Amino acid sequence: MMSVRILFTMAALSLAALAARADSFMAGADLSLLAYFETNGVVYQTGGQAGDAVNILKHQGINCVRLRLFSSSAAQAKADPYDYVNNLSYTVPLAVRVKKAGLKFMLDFHYSDTWADPGHQTVPSAWTNLTFVQLVQQMHDYSSNCIAAFQTAGAMPDYVQVGNEITSGILWPSGKVGGSYDTPAQWSQLAQLLNAAIRGIQEAAGAQPPKLIIHIASGGDWSTTQWFFDNLIQSQHVQFDCIGESYYPFFHGSLGDLNLCLSNAAVRYGKPLIVAETAFPWTNSVFATNLDGLPGTTNGQAQYVVALAETVRSTPNNLSAGVFWWGAEYQPLAGAPEAGYNTTSFFDAKGNVLPAAAVLGQMGAPVLLSVRNGPASLLLQWPLSGADMSLLTTTSLAPASVWLTATQNIQITNAVFSTTVQNDARSSRFYRLQAN
């Protein structure tokens, strides 16, 4: 029988980068309304058994949970829970639950009483009479106080978004940019607001501050991404750690568009890139089907995650840092204006976890090449986290050895790449995975 040696190498990466790739990629889920759905009687299941949705997704490989934070009052949350419930008193206990489950936690500041996005960045009602100077101070104090509350509860965030989908800025009109607001003065004001929040977060966090993310909604739009971050980074010199992009295939173009955006951003800015929001339908009842040639079905949803993994993991310079599934906990609920996102969640209409959750979980798995012996062949396998890697082979480990791309047909099943090689008693053969 052929002697087979399995090696794991990645060209041109340091040991630190290897460790980061294996352990730090965020296979994430946004579960911001989980407690809201549970309070309204929603039950989450796996294998027909009811369970805690956080632990269900953890067992699928999800390693980080994203929770949004509104500045809403108790009265606002009581009057309209769906649109206002995600305030500090609601979010801290949910964050504690996430951390107790052993998962990482991403906090998503909206800096608004309700949803903030490219079309809505409304100043919190309690801040409306503040001058700009006072708004800057309020951004610092509010951010600091919130982080202190999570830290006191034992739920310190690992990552913090300083605003949500802020393509057009925050706290309109003071921090608005774009259109008639695309002026140096407006960019300066946006930078002052963001810098104040960043200082507050870092001061409250102490010696081990969370990684800071600036998140926009242009994952399929490189020109807008370049416009925004050229202004923020190169002109205003705002200091942060990661770039976040929303990418929904039914809103933001093709996966090819996403690939172009992520690749160009990686080369231009040199920062880790996160797909901070994405989703795909498991049924075609609301959103368009055949997105990137994939149907709106349970299997199509899982196939989308595979295609997304291949796109994201190919980001240059090992700068792909994570993917987050938005509305992973959504369920049909009477009276909740869900905009169809109950059809893109990680749970079907009866609360059963869907295969796409486990596929996304494999994006964060350690990249290990394994072998299974058979009577006449060998099965080589590696997880979806190695989506951008090539299988190479050689018959010698001498310094001048030539490594060639393995020509066997590579397939993917259940988020695992696999290929079969024939036994050959006449020689030894070595295999390795290498980053493209």
- Can you give the length of the chain in residues? 436
212 in Cβ contact with 162 (< 8 Å): yes
Strands, DSSP E only, in 9-146? 26-30, 44-46, 49-51, 64-69, 104-109
Indicate if 277 belongs to the active site.
Answer: yes
Residues with Cβ < 8 Å from 157, sequence gap 6 or more? 95, 105, 106, 107, 147, 150, 210
Among residues 299, 434, 313, the alpha carbon closest in space to that of 364 is found at: 313
Tokens 């696999």 locate to 418
Q: 346 φ, ψ to 5°? A: -90, 5
Alpha-carbon distance 21 to 44, whole Å?
31
First to last CA, the chain: 31
Catalytic position from the list 38, 203, 245, 277: 277
Please choose, from the candidates 77, 231, 242, 46, the residue with its C-alpha nearest in 3D space to the C-alpha of residue 157: 242
**Is 211 in a helix, a strand, or coil?**
strand
Residue 41 falls in which region: left (phi positive, over 0), alpha (psi -120 to 50) or beta: left
* Chain position carrying tokens 């001498």: 398
DSSP 401: P
Residues 216 and 223 sit within 8 Å (Cβ to Cβ): no
What secondary structure letter does DSSP report for 117? B
Distance, in Å, from the CA atom of 387 to the CA atom of 306, rounded to the nearest integer, reads 8
Check 165, 245, 329, 338 and give the catalytic one.
Answer: 165
Question: Which residues does the annotation mark as catalytic?
Answer: 165, 277
